Amino acid sequence: MQRRILTPLLELLIPGNKLNRLPSSLNPGQAHLPPHIFDALMTSPLTHSAEPINVALVDTRNIQSQDLSLFLYRSASQIAQNVGRNGRVLFLSTEDPLESSIVEGLVRSLSKELGAKGCTVNLGLTATPSSPSSQLQDFFLSNKSAYVNGQVVKQQPTTLVKPESDICVVTGGARGIGLEIARKMKEGPMYSKIYVVDHPSSDFSAASGLGFETIALDITTPDASSKIMTAIDAPIGGLIHSAGITADKTMKRMSLKSWRDCLDVNLHSIVKVDGTFQNEGFFDKGCKIVGIASTSGVAGNVGQCNYAASKSGLIGWSEKFNGLNENISYNTVAPGFIQTKMTDKLPPIVTFMATKIMTPLKAKGQCEDVAEVCSMLVEGDFRGERVRVCGGMLIGK
C-alpha cells in the first residue's frame, strides 16, 4: 500500500526520469513477443487474464460497421484491465472516415489513460482490410516505439520506389537528435555513406569517430546547397533535416532578429536546399526526406511563436513538396520533450511541467526514440506522414 502511494510521488519528484522501455515479460536482448490478437470478441465473455497482456493487436478492419462499437468496447476494456507495464497496443483500421475516426478517438484517449504504466497505444491505417500492415506492427509492437503514443500512421498499400543511391545527408548531425539519426541510418539497410552537415562552430569529433563524412557549413548561407552538392558530387538517396534552433520569447518581447534567426534555420534554409537539390537533379529517384519538426509546430506553445511558425511551416512544406514530386517520399517527425543540449538549458520547472504533468508517459524521450521513427519512415512504405514522438503529450493532435 505504501509503495503504491510512494512510487507515484517519487516519480513526480524526479524531473523527467528515463522511461523503462521493455514490456514486463521481455528481457533486454529479446526483440518481440507474439501479439495478443483481438479478433473474435463479440460473443466470448470478458475475462481477467492470468498473465498480463504485453503486446496487443486489435484489428478492426474486418469488423462489420454495426459491430464496431461493441468490438472496440470489449477489446479496449480487456486491454485496460489486463495490460502489463510498458505494454504495446496497436489498433488497425482502414481509412473509412467514420470508422477510423471512432477508433482514433478511442486510441488517443486510451493512450493517455495507460501512459502512466509506460504503455503506448497507437493506430495504424491501411488502404483496405487486406493491405499490408507488417511495417506498422514491426514498429508499434516493439520497443522501437517506446515514446510514440497516441499517433495515427498510414502504411501505403504498395511498395514505394527505393533510391539506388546509398548516400544519406543529415543536417545538424554533429550532436543530439541528428547524430543519433545519422547512426541509425548507417545501421540500416539503405545507406552506407553518411554525410553530416553542421555549423562550423560545432564539435564534429563524435560524427567523425563514427566514420561519417563531415561538412562544416552554416545551412542558412546563400551558397549552402551548392557547397553540399560540390562536396558530395553524386545524387543522394536520403536527406534528414535535423538542424534547428530555438530563440524563445513571448511575442510581446520578441525581436525581429529572434524571429528571423528561427525561421531562417528551421524553415527557409530547408525550402531553399530542397528546391535547389530538386532543380539540380541531386535527389535520386525514390529519395527519402524527413524533416524534424516539433509538437510546438503542431499545437503551438507559449514563448515559441517563431519556432512554432517555422516547424508548422516545415510540415506544410513537406506536404507541398510531396504534391509536386511523386517519386520522393517526404515525411515529418514532431518530437515533444527529448533529452538533448537544446532541452538541457531549460529551467527545471519547465522540464517538470512538460514531462510529469503534460506527458502521459511521465518521462523525457531519448534521441534514439526520434531516430527509430526516422528509420521506420525511411525504410518502410510511408509518405506524407507526420509522426509525433512525444509520449502522448496532452497538447494538440
Of residues 236 and 292, the one with the C-beta less far from ligand NAD: 292
How many C-beta atoms surround the C-beta of residue 217 within 10 A? 20
Range in contact with ligand NAD (rule: CB under 6 A) among 17-25, 118-126, 175-183, 273-281: 175-183
Of residues 121 and 219, the one with the C-beta less far from ligand NAD: 219
CA neighbor of 118 nearest in space, from 15, 32, 8, 31? 8
Q: On the CB side of 172, how many CA atoms lie within 13 Å of its CA?
A: 23
Range in contact with ligand NAD (rule: CB under 6 A) among 23-31, 41-49, 66-74, 333-341: 333-341
The 3-state DSSP class for residue 50 equals coil
Spell out where 323-380 has E strands.
329-335
Name the phi and psi angles at 45, rounded to 5: -70, 150
Residue nearest ligand NAD (C-beta atom):
244
Of residues 242 and 359, the one with the C-beta less far from ligand NAD: 242
Least CB distance from residue 181 to ligand NAD, whole Å?
A: 9
Cα–Cα distance, 344 to 15 (Å, whole number): 12
Instruction: Give the DSSP letter of residue 45.
Output: P
Q: For the chain, how many residues are written?
A: 397
Least CB distance from residue 221 to ligand NAD, whole Å?
A: 8
191, 195, 307, 330: which one is catalytic? 307
> Does the footprint of ligand NAD cover residue 172 (CB under 6 A)?
yes
Range in contact with ligand NAD (rule: CB under 6 A) among 98-106, 133-141, 183-191, 194-202: 194-202
> Which listed residue (145, 151, 202, 359) binds ligand NAD by CB under 6 A?
202
195 assigned to active site? no
C-alpha cell at 113: 489513460
Q: Tell me the β-bridge partners of 39.
A: none
> Does the footprint of ligand NAD cover residue 220 (CB under 6 A)?
yes
Cα–Cα distance, 227 to 219 (Å, whole number): 10
> Does the footprint of ligand NAD cover residue 294 (CB under 6 A)?
yes
> Does the footprint of ligand NAD cover residue 174 (CB under 6 A)?
yes
How many C-beta atoms surround the C-beta of residue 284 within 10 A? 21
Least CB distance from residue 203 to ligand NAD, whole Å?
A: 9
Complete DSSP assignment for 124-169: EEESSTTS--HHHHHHHTSGGGTT--S-EEE--SSPPPPPS--EEE
Of residues 93 and 375, the one with the C-beta less far from ligand NAD: 375
Range in contact with ligand NAD (rule: CB under 6 A) among 228-236, 243-251, 322-330, 372-380: 243-251
Of residues 167 and 174, the one with the C-beta less far from ligand NAD: 174
> Does the footprint of ligand NAD cover residue 244 (CB under 6 A)?
yes
Name the phi and psi angles at 77, rounded to 5: -65, -45
> Does the footprint of ligand NAD cover residue 247 (CB under 6 A)?
no
Of residues 53 and 148, the one with the C-beta less far from ligand NAD: 148
53-72 per-residue burial string, b: 16 or more CB within 10 A, e: under 16 = bbbbbbbbbebeeeebeebb
How many C-beta atoms surround the C-beta of residue 362 within 10 A? 21
> Does the footprint of ligand NAD cover residue 245 (CB under 6 A)?
yes
Query: What are the residues binding ligand NAD (CB under 6 A)?
Result: 172, 174-178, 198-199, 202, 218-220, 242-245, 265, 292, 294, 335, 337-338, 340-343
Residues annotated as catalytic are 307
